[in-house]
Every structure is written in structure tokens, then in C-alpha cells.
């Protein structure tokens, strides 16, 4: 994919998520690797519904901002994933409502945030780590991700929103949408004793789809 095509794809996918209410206002941020090892990043204070391909923040392979508008203040989150996961080709952060709601529940599992309601969250995300609350823009969020040593492709920032790394921009967006869908199912069925996947069924999904699950 050329840089021009990647710029267009970032804006297309961001607008799709905005139009479907997955992040509102000027919330959320998105980044992707370029062919030369640099990054394209959504600018600070911008809306996913109105990103301009020509104004995306551009970083070179050394992490220097070389073109475009000033980047999101959540750059430490993005760089933490790129620095610790060699497979990361894109990172997406949303303020999706159901995931945030689930993070507020007193029984939320910090090590395995999403309940095993369907196979798809397991397949696309593995175990999602629930991190504590940080002030928006706090570099400590990035340090918390670095502390996971690349073992998780997705984290949930408590009272804030999910962050997901994927092999490319489409994979990262698909995975974070699956995270929100699973969280929505969890909230819709809360208190109704839903039939979750058994440990044996979870293991079968992990084995069949080669999911990195024990990290």
C-alpha cells in the first residue's frame, strides 16, 4: 500500500467508526506504519469523522515529526506498542461506550477483561489487559503498556477506552470493533447469567486459531 493509499484508508476507517458511534467528538486516535518505517498519526484535537489525509502527522523512521499537524497527545501509547510488538503495523484508540462501561464494573477482570461470550474476541484480541485510570495524555499509560513487554495486543484503559495494535490498519480496526462488540454483549447480558464459553471451548478456539493466550 502506498503512503497516499494508507492516508486515505486511515481516514476512511476512522470515519466509519465515527459514523457508527464508536468514538465521538474529537475523541480517539489512530496511527499506522508507513513503508519506510515511519508513522502516520491522527492530529491532536481532531474528529475521526473529519480527518484530512493531507494533514495527518508524519513521523520518520527515527520518530521525528517531519510533516503534517501536531500529533495526538496519546503518542506514548502508540509508540509503546510499536516499540514492544514487532508485529504492530497500526494502533487504534477509541472511547467506545460499552467497553468503558464494562471497565467501571467492580468485578472487571484486570488480567482477562473480556468475558468469553463468543469465539471472536478471543481470536482477534487474545487476553485484554485492564489498566488502571490515568489522566488523559499521561505518559504513564505508555509505560504501563511497555510493562507488558509486548505480551498483549490490546489493553483497556479504565474509565477511558480501549487501545489495540494490529498487523495493519484494517486488522487493528477490526479487532477494536470486536472488543467493543464483546463489551456490549457483556453489558446487555449483565445479571442474566449468560451461557459463556467453557474453559474447554476457549482452549479449542485458542488451539484452532493459534491465539497467544498464556501471556
Q: Any catalytic annotation for residue 120?
A: yes
Q: Any catalytic annotation for residue 199?
A: no
Write down the pLDDT at residue 214.
75
Write down the pLDDT at residue 215.
63
Does 104 reside within a domain?
yes
State the pTM of this model: 0.96
Q: Which of 3, 8, 35, 74 is catalytic?
A: 74
Let me know: does 58 contact 3? Beta carbons within 8 Å.
Answer: no
Does 213 reside within a domain?
no
Cα 97 versus chain centre, distance: 14
Does 52 reside within a domain?
yes
Q: Which of 3, 8, 82, 120 is catalytic?
A: 120
Does 214 reside within a domain?
no
Write down the pLDDT at residue 148.
96
Does 215 reside within a domain?
no
The total domain count for the chain is 1
CA separation, residue 120 to residues 19, 36, 211 (Å): 23, 32, 11
Residues of the chain with pLDDT under 70: 215
pLDDT tens readout for residues 28-62? 999 999 999 999 999 999 999 999 999 999 999 99
CA–CA gap between residue 110 and residue 177 (Å, rounded) = 20
Does 120 reside within a domain?
yes
Does 116 reside within a domain?
yes
CATH code for the domain of 35? 3.40.225.10
Structural domain span for residue 164 = 3-208
Q: Are strands 154-157 and 129-131 parallel, antiparallel or unpaired?
A: parallel
Amino acid at each position: 500500500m502506498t503512503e497516499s493509499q494508507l492516508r486515505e484508508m486511515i481516514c476512511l476507517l476512522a470515519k466509519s467508526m465515527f459514523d457508527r458511534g464508536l468514538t465521538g467528538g474529537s475523541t480517539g486516535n489512530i496511527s499506522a506504519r508507513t513503508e519506510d518505517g515511519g508513522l502516520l498519526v491522527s492530529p491532536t484535537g481532531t474528529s475521526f469523522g473529519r480527518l484530512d489525509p493531507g494533514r495527518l502527522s508524519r513521523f520518520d523512521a527515527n520518530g521525528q515529526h517531519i510533516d503534517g499537524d501536531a500529533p495526538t497527545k496519546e503518542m506514548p501509547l502508540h509508540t509503546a506498542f510499536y516499540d514492544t510488538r514487532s508485529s504492530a503495523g497500526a494502533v487504534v484508540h477509541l472511547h467506545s461506550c460499552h467497553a468503558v462501561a464494562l471497565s467501571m464494573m467492580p468485578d472487571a477482570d484486570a488480567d482477562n477483561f473480556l468475558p468469553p461470550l463468543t469465539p471472536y474476541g478471543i481470536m482477534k484480541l487474545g487476553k485484554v489487559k485492564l489498566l488502571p485510570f490515568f489522566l488523559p495524555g499521561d505518559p504513564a499509560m505508555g509505560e504501563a503498556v511497555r510493562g507488558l513487554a509486548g505480551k498483549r495486543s490490546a489493553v483497556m484503559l479504565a474509565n477511558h477506552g480501549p487501545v489495540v495494535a494490529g498487523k495493519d490498519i484494517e486488522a487493528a480496526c477490526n479487532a477494536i470493533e470486536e472488543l467493543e462488540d464483546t463489551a456490549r454483549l457483556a453489558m446487555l447480558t449483565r445479571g442474566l447469567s449468560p451461557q459463556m464459553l467453557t474453559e474447554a471451548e476457549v482452549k479449542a478456539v485458542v488451539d484452532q486459531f493459534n491465539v497467544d493466550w498464556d501471556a
